[in-house]
Structure 1
Amino acid sequence: MLACLTGNVGVEGGWAGAYNGFTRKFPLGMADLPEDLKFESASVPMSSGWIDAIDDHTSLTKETGLKGVDKLDYPVKMIWNIASDFMMTSGPDLNRVRAILEDEGKVECIICSDVFMTPTAQWSDIVLPACTCFERWNIGGTWNNGDYFILSQKIAEPLGEARSEYDWLAECADRMGVKDAFTGGKTEEEWVRFMVEETQKEFPDDDLPDFDTMVKEGVAYFRKEEPRVAFKEQIEDPKNNPFETDSGKIELFSKTLYEMKNPDIPATPHYVPVAEGPGAELAAAYPLQLIGWKTKARDNSSYFTHPWLAQTQETVLWINPLDAEARDIADGDIVKVANDRGALKIAAKVTSRIVPGCVAAPTGTWYNPDADGVDQNGCLNVLTSSARTSWTQGNTQHTNLVEVAKL
């Protein structure tokens, strides 16, 4: 079985924080595959489902987040990792991931296409140098919020042996005898032109620019004729626009959840303690709650090695003076942060700007373990949990207990 990880996923658990947004319109994407090229595919939870599919494919069911198929008949043996450092930096429980990937009886081939030699690329068998956004054509919408899309233009030829993914995937399709079906007879630039033109047709009242105008302006804006109103259709015409519930209304009590009898997801909303919170038994050994934040020094984990960006943000662990004093930690001391999943080394910043009982550090640092497995870059994901939320199988990387000790 083949697994594919795509996208620049670098969040340390943002979806677990109930992030959401509303965008009314998106630019159109590439057309669907022809019917004769479609094949059965499965999807698993991004946070840790992919590593479970490698380690024990029988553990993936509909109840644990498997979609598209009823069961996985085979374990994952090959990974295509395109434009992502999730596998070995931004994903949870990296020491577990490393142990599974290094087991040659499991995954037999990992192919990575990226611009930088990330930790994910370093753990891959084949590394394909990719293009930057200045060396290929593309089109992109915004992430949930924002009524516009942008044009990424090719202004320089790729350096060295770098190639766009579309380019080498089209060549692979050619060698398999399906190039015309894969490309639709279009080049990368022609596909982008097609998407701009089709988006114009889809939204004729928005006065969107054509492709040639976008080449000059770089951005297209959807019109905002009126304010956004959540559930507008249900409010104005509830009979013809019911909610997707048994009653068609907003329900404060869920019969579906009640019948599941799962204490983690009660039928009526109320507080449910997390597995690694301050009241957990584990807090006796690891009493500090670990928090990670996004930083101006990089884009998720991208550009971690850029020297100028590194100057904008220190990689330090914030710790309250009360917690620091109890551990004989002074500002600037090198400390070890650990739990049962792993450990990292980092400098301490003693500050009252963080409450007692919590420690925090910036996310997105590249995984860099020493011979003993202790991360040297302050990569928080040696400490984060790969456990998933009940039913929705969401990310729980934000809820982790640790202990800190002076080195």
Structure 2
Amino acid sequence: MFVSYLLGKSDGCPKNPEWAAEITGIAAAEISELARRMAGKKTLITVSHSLQRAEHGEQPVWMGLVLAAMLGTIGVPGAGYGYSLGTMGNIGKRAPVVPVPSLPQGRNAVSTYIPVARIADMLLNPGTEYDFNGQRLTYPDIRLIYWAGGNPFHHHQDLNRLHKAFSRPDTIIVHDPYWTATVLHADIVFPSTVTLERDDISGSSEDSYLSPMHHVIEPYAQARDDYEIFAEIADRLGLRREYTEGLTSAEWIRKLYDQLRTQLAAKGYTAPPFEEFWSAGELELPTHDGFAEWLQRFREEPSSAPLKTPSEKIEICSETIAGFNYADCGGHPKWMEPIEWLGSSLTDRFPLQLIANQPAGRLHSQLDFAAYSMETKVDGREIMRIHPAEASKRDIRDGDLVKVFNERGGFLAVARLTTDQHPGVVQVPTGAWYDPVDLRGEPEGLCVHGNVNTVTRNIGTSRLAQGCTGQLCLVQVERFRGHPPRGRGYGPPVLDMDYAP
């Protein structure tokens, strides 16, 4: 089935270098030369998170695996296939022989769930059915949101639509140390501590080190760590003892470490007492032998090291996915034209492809107000990179304030002209805090900080994964005329002190 598609037997269109050149803008000769180089030496095919954060985002990730399989290097050290190498820092690591300690959580009595990227759809369309990974599910009617950790007004798309969706629940409760846009939508805010204000233990299921985390400053004002917040809520419900088991957060840290010592001793390993661990700085944990070589074993003898797929093999074609009969994700990877790209008729209105890349001065939207992040901005706004030819068409000069917009919304940015940017494409980093200002002629408001998710499209990657698609969309850019508006900044909201509930 895949070979028929590749050779063009199924659709009359061979997927040759000339075909790829039309889509990518890369010369067919360069594509051919790259193919010969890959086949002629040990090659690692690696793809990043960004590839799947677009419409039909499953396809390039799956096709990358297929390419590595065709090269025959999967399971070869230094070659094969890698997904987002280095992102989690767990590549090639062996798992500890005992699990890293964690608080007991019990079993969640609620089995209903949604893919996180569908939250706006859920809030706006309760009772509506949708497809996800072979299942037909129904959006629940959510009347209360409790958000502890995370910031949907950063990572979600079409934020003006999300703003409307967040007006539907009766109550929104948020834990956060900062006045993010999500916090500003909340009815109840619990000020929580930052990492430097709390004691903890650091470790993971694929980390061979356990590290103590000492607080270096006292909690600001009345901020509390999440455990203490939940303990106080449990107390008001008459369940403090059941929740805390009579232990403080410091006592839980000690108890969890002692549990780890007991588990290690049962396997013949020793660990120092808690006091020694807490002052030493880290504990190296024993790990499983051979854990990292599972693909090598699969290559040598597939039947003795089966993969966790229905066929126990690498699946270039998936009967399972084909059986879902999804028009937007078939049984094998292929090129699928997105709705918003430079080959679309939508370019008549919005002729520029926006690439929303990860920022250089922060992680996602974290600490956007801090000095290091601010050094990457101009006057508190994000920089938009644009080719001089595109800027000239719009009478835009380097350093001008510009409006980036489409039918979903818009934001302000500062133009940076560079020939490193491809014509027809503009680039703005993600992560600016959502700060819309109502202006005449701007029905959705205009984000003064430069949040790209005011213009990105809220649609799933496909019915298979329903992931976010915030990497790419079509926009128009024009020079902003008039007095530059100012938003609320990063501080708290203005409170109505005369309000009486």
Normalised to the residue count of structure 2, the TM-score between the two structures is 0.69
Contact 2:94/2:290 (CA < 8 Å) preserved in 1? Answer: no
Larger radius of gyration: 2
1:277 aligns with 2:338: no
Deviates more, 1:240-249 or 1:204-213: 204-213
Q: CA deviation at 1:206?
A: 7.9
1:247 aligns with 2:311: yes
Amino acid at match of 2:337: P
- Counterpart of 2:145? 79
Contact 2:190/2:229 (CA < 8 Å) preserved in 1? Answer: no
Name structure 1 gaps, 5 residues minimum: 1-11
In structure 2, relative to structure 1, the CA distance for the partners of 1:82 and 1:321 (3 Å cut) is same
Counterparts of 1:54-133 in structure 2, within 5 Å, are 54-61=123-130, 63-64=131-132, 71-72=138-139, 74-86=140-152, 88-102=153-167, 106-133=168-195
Q: 2:113 aligns with which of 43, 50, 71?
A: 43
Amino acid at match of 1:228: A
- Aligned partners of 1:149, 1:255: CA distance in 2, in Å? 42
- Aligned partners of 1:346, 1:185: CA distance in 2, in Å? 52
Q: Secondary structure at the match of 1:248?
A: coil
- Counterpart of 1:53? 122
1:151 aligns with 2:215: no
Q: CA deviation at 1:396?
A: 1.0
Q: Percent identity?
A: 28
Contact 2:406/2:476 (CA < 8 Å) preserved in 1? Answer: yes
1:388 aligns with 2:460: yes
- Aligned partners of 2:228, 2:420: CA distance in 1, in Å? 50
- Aligned partners of 2:270, 2:359: CA distance in 1, in Å? 37
- Counterpart of 1:139? 201
Q: Secondary structure at the match of 1:400?
A: strand
1:323 aligns with 2:385: no
In structure 2, relative to structure 1, the CA distance for the partners of 1:94 and 1:214 (3 Å cut) is farther
Contact 1:45/1:65 (CA < 8 Å) preserved in 2? Answer: no
- Aligned partners of 1:355, 1:404: CA distance in 2, in Å? 15
CA distances 1:242-268 after superposition (whole Å, capped 9, x unpaired): 223343222222222333333422322
- Aligned partners of 1:193, 1:218: CA distance in 2, in Å? 15
Q: 1:403 aligns with which of 463, 472, 476?
A: 476
Q: 1:176 aligns with which of 211, 231, 237?
A: 237
Deviates more, 1:393-402 or 1:130-139: 130-139
Amino acid at match of 2:386: I
CA distances 1:45-87 after superposition (whole Å, capped 9, x unpaired): 112x2222211122354x23799x9645x5111111213222x
Contact 1:149/1:220 (CA < 8 Å) preserved in 2? Answer: yes
- Counterpart of 1:212? 275
Deviates more, 1:251-260 or 1:323-332: 251-260
Q: Secondary structure at the match of 2:410?
A: strand
- Counterpart of 2:293? 229
Deviates more, 1:180-189 or 1:334-343: 180-189
- Aligned partners of 2:257, 2:377: CA distance in 1, in Å? 38
Q: CA deviation at 1:273?
A: 2.2
Q: Secondary structure at the match of 1:180?
A: helix
CA distances 1:355-395 after superposition (whole Å, capped 9, x unpaired): 11211112211111111301100111101121012211111
- Aligned partners of 1:168, 1:14: CA distance in 2, in Å? 38
- Aligned partners of 1:399, 1:357: CA distance in 2, in Å? 13
In structure 2, relative to structure 1, the CA distance for the partners of 1:311 and 1:245 (3 Å cut) is closer
Q: Secondary structure at the match of 1:196?
A: helix
- Aligned partners of 2:255, 2:375: CA distance in 1, in Å? 42
Counterparts of 1:264-343 in structure 2, within 5 Å, are 264-314=328-378, 315-343=382-410
Aligned residue pair count: 385
- Aligned partners of 2:166, 2:220: CA distance in 1, in Å? 31
In structure 2, relative to structure 1, the CA distance for the partners of 1:41 and 1:259 (3 Å cut) is closer
Q: Secondary structure at the match of 1:304?
A: coil
Contact 1:332/1:349 (CA < 8 Å) preserved in 2? Answer: yes
- Aligned partners of 1:82, 1:161: CA distance in 2, in Å? 17
- Aligned partners of 2:339, 2:269: CA distance in 1, in Å? 48
Amino acid at match of 2:188: I
Name structure 2 gaps, 5 residues minimum: 1-48, 62-82, 86-90, 440-444, 481-501
